[in-house]
A and B are shown apart, each in its own frame.
Chain A
């Protein structure tokens, strides 16, 4: 640290009190040099001009061409319930409780929304809510949300999309716990493979192009959400080469978000709250299978990329926040890894309640979208409205919320002009039933599982201790 020279004895006293060492190692002067002396001998002498401006600007080349994907898909598996259980066991999705319990996540007494909430301390919350200051306002004090978003699996296909999805996920998580979408600030952390082309790094031009695309996506998303990037950190050489194996991480943008929750007691946890509450899916975009966990599970690859409607999503989130402030929202949970089915399964696991869902209206909503786009869209993606795609598709812009039945009319009125799709109801029976009544009788039931089965799968230990 630097201090005013005359204060050094004061610092010494302070250091003594805290049992730490402090040493006086130098001072600022007007010499124009950075100089280090050891034992009377100068061991470093650098001109300040060189220190500040001496690093030459790199002139790099990039080369962009869209990713080429060979479609490889298959028939819908017979038991979607079994697939859901497999997804809940996936190490990207399964419970983090074993880790969360092993560190003090409540120290300083500031937490409002903790990593695990609900009646059994099992509900995996979307974001943290903290009180930045301990004040006598207690439950009425303004609070802070802390969330993040990361979608590296989309990078292989499009880093622009990966970036807007990461921003959206961070924003959505904060909004879900009660943050005002007009108070958000973001951090960007780029973790990238080496983007500098050379003989030993022949992929450099493509990786640099992916970085450019990522920055473009980041720009568009933060402008749309009006959320400034207030800091960040970049790491650009995430490669491994021991002469035998060469590895590079997928281009990854981690976005962290902080936002203001007007009052601590307004914060929302993600699990279902009460039997009889209505379940809605809020949507601003399209879910996709590309990069999804469902696709990975089946060894498929498709070009059914998710889409985000950046014109709609900021206003959708504003409406949600106003509904939260009115006290209408009982639970809100983002739809992410594993899609709608995993999202509602988590709401069930966290709650000691169950849900009966009918996705017919969502099905029709999607048909409407693809019909508008013309028959070709449907033909190319013959499986976009297949039940498995509907419940396991992943992507930005989607939130599952529950409301008190009595608020139905006001709630639907508030969201007029937005895609707010009723998908069912919370029930006391501790199970999850998902049907699609648009389908022929024999094919209607998609998932029927007990909450216990969901919980057991979700609590599969991580593949490390």
Chain B
């Protein structure tokens, strides 16, 4: 990659995705040239992926969460471009699914990573409290699970904003799922298995998480920021996730 061209990111939007703008903004801040692309355009022409180094499936309520969160989008993506997506991932390009996007990746069987294509190992079901939750929750990085997206991060806060975030592994798959659990909630907030909030594949190029890193790219987004003695000079943890992605594609 030459120094003057920015790596390209495609940010999926449309059909109920509502975090496209801020996900794209976070990627721009990190150094990407981010293109917000309507799902119908990508479904029509999966070849668009060829020019991109990163695909982001942002949060929202794709297709109104019908059937199950992320289900319809997953079916559509699988039907129209499963091969292209698998190739994209096999080439080592980056794929991130945030909140509803993570639900899509889980529905597609991309996370937790399974040996057989399209086979789902877990689901993200209704929070144990049966209610939607919007609050900031401390996240802890599992250093035993290699995840370049979280390089340099240990414990940090991010907001969760979901009704279906309880990761539930299939029968006898607990250990498989644990081995991919890069990120956990510091406390149990939604009944998620082993307090898992984020998963990555073995290669580390696919990352899915329920909390929103794109919602912590400036310090004044944190609910306790008014208690900071001054605004820190370093980038906030959410932005670091995207900067790590930038390092991965420019290395």
CB-CB under 8 A for A108 and B29, given A102-B134, A117-B224: no
* Chain A binder among B115-123, B193-201, B214-222, B241-249: B214-222
Q: Is the CB of B221 within 8 A of A109?
A: yes
Q: Chain B 101-143 against A: per-residue CB contact (8 Å), 1 yes, 0 no?
A: 0000000000000000000000000000001111110000000
Q: Which residues of A contact B217 (CB under 8 A)?
A: 109, 138
Residue of B nearest to A117 (CB): B223
In the assembled complex, the Cα of A16 lies from the Cα of B14 at a distance in Å of: 12
Listed stretches B19-27, B146-154, B168-176; interface member? B19-27
Whether B223 contacts A264 by the Cβ 8 Å rule is no
Q: Compute how far the CA of A116 lies from the CA of B131 in the bound complex, rounded to whole angstroms.
A: 18
A101 touches B133 (CB 8 A): yes
Which chain B residue has the least Cβ–Cβ distance from A111? B221
Chain A residues near B15 (CB-CB < 8 A): 19
A121: min CB distance to chain B, Å: 5
- From residue 105 to 159 of chain A, which have CB atoms closer than 8 A to chain B? 105-114, 116-119, 121, 134, 136, 138-139
- What is the CA–CA distance of A114 and B168 in the complex, to the nearest angstrom? 31
Decide if A102 touches B131 in the complex (CB within 8 Å): yes
Within 8 Å by CB of A264, from B136, B212, B215, B218, lies B218
Any chain A CB within 8 A of the CB of B40? yes
CA distance A107 to B162 in the complex (A): 11
Contact of A106 among B29, B38, B215 (CB under 8 A): B215
Which residue of chain B is the closest to A273 with respect to CB atoms?
B227
Contact call B136/A121, Cβ cutoff below 8 A: yes
Contact across chains for B18 and A108 when beta carbons are under 8 A apart: yes
Known: A17-B38, A17-B40, A18-B40. A107 touches B161 (CB 8 A): yes
Question: Does B41 sit at the interface, judged by CB under 8 A?
Answer: yes
Which residues of the partner chain A approach B133 to less than 8 Å between Cβ atoms? 101-102
A267 adjacent to B220 (CB under 8 Å): yes
Q: Would you call A106 and B161 a contact (CB within 8 A)?
A: yes
How far is the CB of A193 from the nearest CB of chain B, in Å? 36
Contact pick for B219, options A18, A116, A139, CB 8 Å: A139
Say yes or no: B134 contacts A268, CB within 8 Å.
no
With A17-B41, A103-B134, A273-B226 in contact, is A265–B215 under 8 Å at CB?
no
Residues of A within 8 A of B136 (CB): 121
Report the Cα distance A273→B228, complex, angstroms. Answer: 10
Beyond A17-B40, A101-B133, A139-B218, is A134–B223 a contact (Cβ under 8 Å)? no
Docked-complex contact A119 and B220, CB < 8 angstroms: no
**What CA separation (Å) do A163 and B244 show in the bound complex?**
54
Chain A residues with Cβ below 8 Å from B75 are none
Tell me whether A78 is interfacial, beta carbon within 8 Å: no
B7 within 8 Å of A (CB atoms): no
- Residues of A near B224 (CB, < 8 A) are 117-119, 121
Secondary structure of the A contact surface, majority rule? loop
Contact B25 A119 (CB under 8 A): no
Which residues does chain A contribute within 8 Å of B135, judged by CB atoms? Answer: 101, 121
Q: Is A104 an interface residue (CB 8 A)?
A: yes
Bound Cα distance from A273 to B226, whole angstroms: 8
Contacts of A267 in B (CB 8 A): 220, 226
A236 on interface, CB distance cutoff 8 Å: no
Asked whether A109 lies within 8 Å of B214 as measured between CB atoms, the reply is: yes
Interface string of B1-21 (1 = CB under 8 A from A): 000000000000011001101
A269 at the A/B interface (Cβ < 8 Å)?
yes
Q: B165 to chain A: which residues have CB within 8 Å?
A: none
Among A19, A107, A118, the residue within 8 A (CB) of B223 is A118
A265 to chain B, nearest CB (A): 5
Question: Are A268 and B25 in contact (CB-based, < 8 A)?
Answer: no
A264 touching B21, Cβ below 8 Å: no
Q: With a CB–CB cut-off of 8 A, which chain B residues contact A100?
A: 134
Could you show 28 A-B contacts with beta carbons less than 8 Å apart? Answer: A17-B41, A18-B14, A101-B133, A102-B134, A105-B134, A106-B134, A106-B221, A107-B59, A108-B21, A109-B19, A109-B22, A109-B214, A109-B215, A109-B217, A112-B220, A113-B226, A116-B223, A117-B223, A117-B226, A118-B226, A118-B227, A119-B224, A119-B227, A121-B224, A139-B231, A265-B219, A267-B220, A269-B226
- A-side interface residues toward B, CB under 8 Å? 16-19, 100-114, 116-119, 121, 134, 136, 138-139, 264-265, 267-269, 273
Closest A-B pairs by Cβ, 8 of them: A109-B22, A138-B218, A269-B226, A134-B25, A104-B161, A264-B220, A139-B220, A121-B223
13 further interface pairs, Cβ-Cβ under 8 Å (given A101-B134, A104-B161, A109-B21): A16-B40, A18-B14, A106-B212, A106-B215, A106-B221, A107-B161, A108-B22, A113-B226, A118-B223, A118-B226, A134-B21, A265-B231, A273-B227
